[in-house]
Amino acid sequence: MSGKTLDNLSTETREFAPPEGFSAQANLSAAAYAEASADRLAFWAEQARRLAWDTEWDQVLDWSDAPFAKWFVGGRLNVAYNCVDRHVEAGLGERVALHWEGEPGDTRTVTYGQLRDMVCQAANGLAFLGLRAGDRVAIQMPMLVEAIVAMLACARLGLVHSVVFGGFSPAALQSRINDAQARVLITSDGQYRRGEAVPMKNLTDEATAQTPSIEHVVVVRRTGAEVDWVPDRDVWWHDLVDDQPTTHEAEAFDSEHPLFILYTSGTTGKPKGILHTSGGYLTQVAYTHHAVFDLKPDTDVYWCTADIGWVTGHSYIVYGPLANAATQVVYEGTPNTPHQGRHFEIIAKYGVTIYYTAPTLIRTFMKWGTDNPAAHDLSSLRLLGSVGEPINPEAWVWYRTHIGGERCPVVDTWWQTETGAIMISPLPGVTKTKPGSAQVPLPGISAQVVDDTGTEVPHGSGGYLVLTEPWPGMLRGIWGDPDRFKETYWSRYAEQGYYFAGDGAKYDNDGHIWLLGRVDDVMNVSGHRISTTEVESALVSHPTVAEAAVVGASDPTTGQGIVAFVIPRGKAATDRDTHITTLRNHVAQEIGAIAKPRQILIVEELPKTRSGKIMRRLLRDIAENRELGDTTTLADQTVMNLITEGLSNQK
Ligand code: 6R9
């Protein structure tokens, strides 16, 4: 939480009232807040009725074993049936579910009727492999229609999917497969990235070299790349799925049946497998997608630019929009392929009305210039959303002006992998929006900013964000590690029973919430969570590194950039630049390209406290070219001089 951010934010006073016409037609009015606070559980029960239940619940919330929640206890439903079949049964089989746009320009249009057939076929295929409800399936795939179909097919069978972002390394995939003991991996031969076909299956083969639980690898053909083949283990998606019947009886599962595991970085090196279940999760993603994006399923064309490898892709590409029978755009590639106007071209082509993206991309668009959005007809847009990190007021205003034509409400949505769905956000027809603030908990959600003792801070003050009441989409645990679940989220405010989000926040004078970034050792790089420890472990796993300390330094485009301080082991065998390149590539190999340090500084010492804790705060001062803060707790007062002198010699 840097002081700089705080100061910038406290001088921000602009406000934008919802356009009148928008409020008049909005899905939610201010009455929703009153309704939810009058009877929170009744409000959530009403939201759960957005779904089709096979058996209705007999208790909305069981919190008797807190912090392990049970929502809609006794209820039974099938998640895939809710996202697909019921819309077809309601006569919407011809409605487009997915306008899929490949990076090279190939396209696919998938109606809800076709999606149902595809999901049924895939479910039959996975069942043929011997998978049974509760089994885990890993998915590492680019943004293909089959990726969405695979997730829904898992949901249909009660299989627990674990989607691993396509940019993660074989080592990262391997540890996730092993942690979840996945029986099957679904992947593709390759993927298109920045105009090139790059391999995928060859990388997943590296991962599956040491994953004894994997029985089969199912491979979607995308690029036509040559792949190695393990007979009896590997099977082409089209061979497994294409001849399967297009009908499949969807079994109802318990409301608390596990739906997916999604790994996210924590403060230690080992990623946490965040566990989500069925009824409560689907209720909250459907409700929030309706409320925050004001979705009108008959007329809107919705586009969330996230990747399915992140929670935003799970909740706001797959489960929320499909539960609401939305028509959406799914884009496979990078935003500047083949040119920097690609997103705007897609918005114009499909008449996108709702666009949901991340601050890092908005800042990149700013860098690329206003000519790109100006060259395309963006008049179809009526609502803009932001997610992933605090959005700077300037980026927010640029987004509203140059993409939203000054007419679209902007919703800054705060939530986490752990929360499953949006928690804090303006309501587009109700809230006067403030650039840079997520503002108010949604109806049904209880959040506060508190101090160290758990006491709510007064308006105008800062502290930590907590969630004070359980919510339906909340994580149900960390896969295989109940103690870590309690310790990480519930121990800090155990007395009050609050969920500790790990974010700093402040109230403005109206009591609106401004998020100030992580307060733990988690960095946020282009909206991706990466722990400092994870990168440090990767660095010290290289034979030339004795010790490493990693900090997130503020970065104009990516929010934070990874800066590593490395003490070399022994005499360096190569020159400094080569060494640095080697180490950057090593981190990419260990974790993935997203974790590649922006900068590696070779140092002789690291600043430590007497108890041996690295003082990252001081390293951050160096990385951000600031004057050093308080150094009095350093074990060795001379160490910072040594570092700064050493670094100035390097320039
Ligand atoms: C959905 C998602 C969660 C962390 C979260 C916070 C940051 C997300 C934000 C935001 C300020 C927003 N974050 N949205 N900070 N304003 N609108 O991003 O999940 O990848 O788990 O990251 O991202 O720091 O704690 P996840």
Measure 501 CA to ligand 1 centroid, in angstroms. 10
Distance between CA atoms of residues 207 and 171, nearest Å: 6
Nearest ligand 1 atom, CA 412: 17
**Cβ partners under 8 Å of residue 20, min gap 6:** none
Beta partners for residue 529, in sequence order: 524
Report residues whose beta carbon is within 6 angstroms of any ligand 1 atom. 264, 310-312, 387-390, 412-417, 438, 501-503, 515, 518, 524, 527, 529
pLDDT at 607 over 90: no
- Most confident of the following: 503-517, 524-538, 601-615: 503-517
Helix orientation angle between 31-38 and 40-48, rounded to the nearest 10 degrees: 110
Measure 93 CA to ligand 1 centroid, in angstroms. 35
* Per-residue model confidence as pLDDT tens digits over 334-347: 999 999 999 999 99
pLDDT at 610 over 70: no
Distance between CA atoms of residues 265 and 536, nearest Å: 13
**Cβ partners under 8 Å of residue 362, min gap 6:** 386, 391, 395, 396, 398, 399, 403
**Is residue 318 within 8 Å of residue 358, measured between CB atoms?**
no
Q: Which of 288-297, 412-421, 457-466, 613-622 has the lowest mean pLDDT?
A: 613-622
Look at 529 and 129; give whichever has higher pLDDT.
129
Hey, whose CA ends up nearest to atom 1 of ligand 1? 416
| 6 — pLDDT class (breaks 50, 70, 90) | very low
Known binding residue 380? Answer is: no
Known binding residue 341? Answer is: no
pLDDT at 604 over 80: yes
Hey, whose CA ends up nearest to atom 12 of ligand 1? 414
| 531 — pLDDT class (breaks 50, 70, 90) | confident
| 630 — pLDDT class (breaks 50, 70, 90) | confident
Per DSSP, helices labelled H in 520-638 are: 532-540, 576-590, 616-623
Peptide bond connecting 104 to the previous residue in cis, omega within 30 degrees of 0 = no
Beta partners for residue 117, in sequence order: none
Known binding residue 312? Answer is: yes
| Amino acid 269: pLDDT | 64
**Cβ partners under 8 Å of residue 528, min gap 6:** 310, 388, 594
**Cβ partners under 8 Å of residue 651, min gap 6:** none
Total residues found in the chain within this entry: 651
Known binding residue 541? Answer is: no
Beta partners for residue 410, in sequence order: 384
Beta partners for residue 303, in sequence order: 329, 355
pLDDT at 185 over 90: yes
Q: Which two tokens stand for residue 333?
A: 């590639």
* Per-residue model confidence as pLDDT tens digits over 195-251: 999 999 999 999 999 999 999 999 999 999 999 999 999 999 999 999 999 999 999
Beta partners for residue 383, in sequence order: 354
| Amino acid 4: pLDDT | 38
Look at 622 and 155; give whichever has higher pLDDT.
155
Q: What's this model's pTM, rounded to 2 decimal places? A: 0.90
* Per-residue model confidence as pLDDT tens digits over 102-119: 999 999 999 999 999 999
pLDDT above 70: percentage of residues in the chain: 96
Distance between CA atoms of residues 187 and 170, nearest Å: 12
Q: Which of 416-420, 591-595, 614-618, 635-639 has the lowest mean pLDDT?
A: 635-639
Known binding residue 357? Answer is: no
* Per-residue model confidence as pLDDT tens digits over 132-151: 999 999 999 999 999 999 99
Could you report the predicted ipTM of this complex, rounded to two decimals? 1.00
Pocket test for ligand 1, best of 8, 262, 310, 415 (most atoms within 8 A of CB): 415
| Amino acid 9: pLDDT | 60
Distance between CA atoms of residues 548 and 535, nearest Å: 9
Measure 242 CA to ligand 1 centroid, in angstroms. 39
pLDDT above 90: percentage of residues in the chain: 82
| Amino acid 645: pLDDT | 80
Please give the C-alpha separations between residue 525 and each of 273, 363, 390, 595, 597, in angstroms, as whole numbers: 20, 13, 12, 8, 10
How many CB atoms sit inside 10 A of residue 479's CB?
Answer: 23
| Amino acid 606: pLDDT | 85
Pocket test for ligand 1, best of 281, 410, 416 (most atoms within 8 A of CB): 416
* Per-residue model confidence as pLDDT tens digits over 263-284: 997 666 678 999 999 999 999 9
| Amino acid 5: pLDDT | 43
Of 436, 440, 385, nearest in space to 410 by CA? 385
Measure 360 CA to ligand 1 centroid, in angstroms. 12
* Amino acid occupying residue 309: G
**Is residue 235 within 8 Å of residue 128, measured between CB atoms?**
no
| Amino acid 3: pLDDT | 36
Q: Which two tokens stand for residue 251?
A: 């079994």
**Cβ partners under 8 Å of residue 181, min gap 6:** 136, 213
Known binding residue 480? Answer is: no
Average pLDDT of span 549-564: 93
Average pLDDT of span 65-77: 98
Hey, whose CA ends up nearest to atom 5 of ligand 1? 416
* Per-residue model confidence as pLDDT tens digits over 383-417: 999 999 888 898 999 999 999 999 999 999 999 99
Of 121, 158, 154, 118, nearest in space to 139 by CA? 154
Average pLDDT of span 568-579: 81
Average pLDDT of span 469-496: 97
Pocket test for ligand 1, best of 414, 499, 528, 558 (most atoms within 8 A of CB): 414
**Cβ partners under 8 Å of residue 67, min gap 6:** 470, 485, 486, 489, 490, 497, 499
Measure 358 CA to ligand 1 centroid, in angstroms. 10
Start-to-end CA distance of the chain, whole Å, equals 28
Average pLDDT of span 309-330: 98
Hey, whose CA ends up nearest to atom 18 of ligand 1? 388
**Is residue 583 within 8 Å of residue 573, measured between CB atoms?**
no
Distance between CA atoms of residues 538 and 551, nearest Å: 14
Measure 413 CA to ligand 1 centroid, in angstroms. 8
Of 384, 374, 309, 379, nearest in space to 354 by CA? 384
Distance between CA atoms of residues 257 and 186, nearest Å: 22
